[in-house]
Chains A and B, each alone.
Chain A
Amino acid sequence: MKLRKLFPKLLLVLVAFCVLLFLLSPIIAVVGGSFNDGGYFAFPPKSVSLRQYRAALTNKEHLESLAASLKVATYSTVVASLLCVPACVALAKTSNPIVNKVKTLFMAPIFLPGIVWAVGLLQCMGFLRIQGSLAILICVHTVIVTPYMIRIVGASMDNFNYTLEDAAASLGAPPLTTFFRITLPNIMSGIVVGMVFSFMISFSDVVITLFVSSSSFTTFPVRVYAAMRTEGLDPMVLAYSAIIIVVVLSISILGEKFAHWSKHFSTML
């Protein structure tokens, strides 16, 4: 009798575990394979060494593209937050349905296929004869991350109690003071989560950057992707990826613990 009750639960746990293992298998393979001592991919590793890490940290080309990625992600995140926070305030305050329609435009990069947009961008740049540069990539990535920023900051604006603003105003605070002393501190956690999120979305983008970047300026994922397509898997890249995974994992743990940020995933999906 007890077994009959316990069996479905055990089965569920077992199936759930197998699906989780399948979901995480590439990450496990990348991290495990990065410790293999040899010029090829092997997981489980044949013999363990830090050879890939040593090779990775002395490879100039990869380090350069990694620096480019970090630059693009940092700048586009900063630009996006500077543009999106005022936009979110305006969207929260407006009573005009036409203005509210603009929000649909800002959300569009999530819903429309990236490759379609990328082909359009490519042709605009070809028409103007401009090459992918840091400035272009920052602008494009700002557009990529805007929907996430708008959603996350917008959600924290929705939770904000506007009577606090009225209270500040009735006590004589000018609008800007009210914003910086009352509104901003209250939506700060949303802005921080949005920025971390934007950074990671920008850092890992492949499709759009692939069409927009030039041979002289490209990001890390695009360089790795191009090499993988033509030459297969270079085990040195595993070391970089393993480091990226560890960083992302630590950020997610902090984000989940302090800001419950997975709830933003669900509002976004």
Chain B
Amino acid sequence: MFRAKYNKMDAMLIPLALLFFIFFVIPFIMLLYNSFLTYTGKVEPGLPITVQNYIKFFKDSYYPAVIGRTFYISIVTTLMVTVLAYPLAYFMAGIKGYLKTIMLVLVTLPLISGVMVQNMGMYGMMTNYGTINLFLMALHIIEEPVQLLGNNIAVIIGLTQGFLPFMILPVMNALQAIPENVLQASESLGANKVRQFLHITLPMSFGGCIAGAVLVFGASLSSYTTPTILGRGKCQVIGTVVYQQAMQLFNWPFASSIAMLLLLLILLIVPITKILSRRRREGGVL
């Protein structure tokens, strides 16, 4: 039988593992436990142990609608991000030198300057006398300012902008990994640019698209700040409901059960996409 050998060096993992145990593992255990407790009206949840919180979520007609809206927003966001990111990633895969450096800096800038700055700019542009309304009025497309904030579309636009880098980088890497001689071979066999793109470039970058799509879809499902700021409280998704229950109504057991369901959804995505990409590989495109 295989017996694991422990190295003296392994002890150097203990401080970090301890920190993770206290501040990361225990909160998840607490979450699971509290999701089965009863709301007492006070902050501290109490006994008896029950599954009422989970039943409440599916019984009430309000919460399935929230799940539906969250999925709708996440799916549309993922599709929009894929469509928009692909040409930019294709462009970036084909350049070198200073231009490439500049592009990489610009593409990663929204990612590292933080979600707050992105939301702030989007919010400012979408207000009644913000950039978009002024622009449309200057072109005489509209005469009066249009209410842009506070609906699903505003949230989708905000999420799409914020998550674009998640798709651009993996797709760019996948495109760069395509060997030059494969393209040359197809050319020598008489394929034109369109056929080359459809039969080589697109299938060979599919893995990058899937990797990006998983990130974008998962991040959209659990998004919270963008729906709050751009949705102005009118766009309730799973994340905002969790916040409401935990921080405003102090119904911790219910907040915990919704959070557990969200966690379950996220953990389900990974195996599904693995199956998807494997089927693609076995499909025999190259």
A interface residues, Cβ below 8 angstroms from B? 8, 12-13, 15-16, 19-20, 22-30, 33, 40-44, 83-84, 86-87, 89-91, 93-99, 102, 105-106, 108-109, 111-117, 119-124, 126-127, 139-140, 142-143, 146, 197, 200-201, 203-207, 210-211, 221, 224-225, 228-229, 232-233, 237-238, 241, 244-245, 248-249, 252-253, 256-257, 262, 265-266, 269
Complex CA gap A205/B92 in Å reads 28
- What's the minimum C-beta distance from A127 to chain B, rounded to whole angstroms? 7
- By beta carbon, the residue of chain A nearest B197 is A8
Given contacts A24-B106, A87-B16, A207-B224, contact A221 B30 (CB under 8 A): no
Q: Find chain A residues with CB under 8 A from B218 CB.
A: 111, 113
- By beta carbon, the residue of chain A nearest B26 is A124
Given contacts A26-B125, A105-B20, contact A115 B170 (CB under 8 A): no
Query: B113 within 8 Å of A by Cβ?
Result: yes
Query: Are the CB atoms of A143 and B246 closer together than 8 Å?
Result: no
Query: B263 within 8 Å of A by Cβ?
Result: yes
10 extra interface residue pairs, beta carbon distance < 8 Å, beyond A84-B16, A211-B246: A20-B103, A23-B164, A24-B106, A87-B16, A91-B13, A96-B7, A120-B256, A225-B119, A233-B123, A248-B113
Q: Which of B29, B212, B263 is A113 in contact with, Cβ under 8 Å?
A: B263
Query: B179 within 8 Å of A by Cβ?
Result: no
Q: Find chain B residues with CB under 8 A from A22 CB.
A: 84, 161, 164
Q: Find chain B residues with CB under 8 A from A13 CB.
A: 91
Query: B116 within 8 Å of A by Cβ?
Result: yes
Query: B243 within 8 Å of A by Cβ?
Result: yes
26 contacts between A and B (CB under 8 A): A22-B161, A25-B121, A27-B118, A30-B121, A41-B127, A89-B12, A94-B9, A95-B5, A96-B6, A99-B7, A105-B25, A106-B16, A113-B266, A115-B224, A120-B28, A122-B246, A146-B16, A197-B112, A210-B247, A224-B116, A225-B229, A238-B124, A244-B114, A252-B109, A252-B112, A266-B172
Query: B131 within 8 Å of A by Cβ?
Result: yes
Query: B107 within 8 Å of A by Cβ?
Result: yes
- What's the minimum C-beta distance from B198 to chain A, rounded to whole angstroms? 14
Given contacts A143-B19, A265-B111, contact A90 B9 (CB under 8 A): yes
- What's the minimum C-beta distance from B282 to chain A, rounded to whole angstroms? 25
Q: Find chain A residues with CB under 8 A from B113 CB.
A: 27, 204, 244-245, 248-249
- What's the minimum C-beta distance from B125 to chain A, rounded to whole angstroms? 5
Q: Which of A109, A113, A126 is B252 in contact with, Cβ under 8 Å?
A: A126
Complex CA gap A1/B122 in Å reads 43
Query: Are the CB atoms of A269 and B166 closer together than 8 Å?
Result: yes
Query: Are the CB atoms of A27 and B20 closer together than 8 Å?
Result: no
Complex CA gap A266/B166 in Å reads 9
Q: Which of B1-59 contact A (CB under 8 A)?
A: 4-7, 9-13, 15-17, 19-20, 22-31, 34, 43-44
The B interface, classified by DSSP as helix, strand, loop or mixed, is: helix
Query: B130 within 8 Å of A by Cβ?
Result: yes
Query: Are the CB atoms of B27 and A124 closer together than 8 Å?
Result: yes
Complex CA gap A139/B256 in Å reads 22
- By beta carbon, the residue of chain B nearest A250 is B105
Q: Find chain A residues with CB under 8 A from B107 CB.
A: 20, 23
Query: B255 within 8 Å of A by Cβ?
Result: yes
Query: Are the CB atoms of B84 and A113 closer together than 8 Å?
Result: no
Query: B222 within 8 Å of A by Cβ?
Result: yes
Query: Are the CB atoms of B164 and A244 closer together than 8 Å?
Result: no
Count how many chain B residues have C-beta atoms less than 8 Å from C-beta atoms of the other chain. Answer: 95
Given contacts A99-B6, A143-B24, A256-B101, contact A30 B120 (CB under 8 A): yes
Query: B201 within 8 Å of A by Cβ?
Result: no
Query: Are the CB atoms of A249 and B105 closer together than 8 Å?
Result: yes
Query: Are the CB atoms of B262 and A115 closer together than 8 Å?
Result: yes
Q: Find chain B residues with CB under 8 A from A124 CB.
A: 26-27, 30
Top 10 A-B pairs ranked by shortest CB distance? A26-B121, A204-B114, A120-B27, A113-B222, A120-B31, A16-B91, A86-B12, A41-B124, A262-B104, A90-B12
Q: Which of A23, A99, A143, A224 is B20 in contact with, Cβ under 8 Å?
A: A143
Query: B155 within 8 Å of A by Cβ?
Result: no
- By beta carbon, the residue of chain B nearest A235 is B124
- By beta carbon, the residue of chain A nearest B160 is A22
Given contacts A90-B13, A126-B43, contact A96 B4 (CB under 8 A): yes
Given contacts A19-B164, A20-B88, contact A269 B12 (CB under 8 A): no
- By beta carbon, the residue of chain B nearest A234 is B120
Query: Are the CB atoms of B91 and A30 closer together than 8 Å?
Result: no
Q: Which of B19, B172, B228, B252 is A83 in contact with, Cβ under 8 Å?
A: B19
Q: Find chain B residues with CB under 8 A from A238 CB.
A: 120, 124
Given contacts A204-B113, A207-B224, A225-B225, contact A15 B87 (CB under 8 A): yes
Complex CA gap A106/B12 in Å reads 14
Q: Find chain A residues with CB under 8 A from B87 CB.
A: 12, 15-16, 19
Given contacts A98-B4, A119-B246, A124-B30, contact A252 B91 (CB under 8 A): no
Q: Find chain A residues with CB under 8 A from B114 CB.
A: 200, 203-206, 221, 244
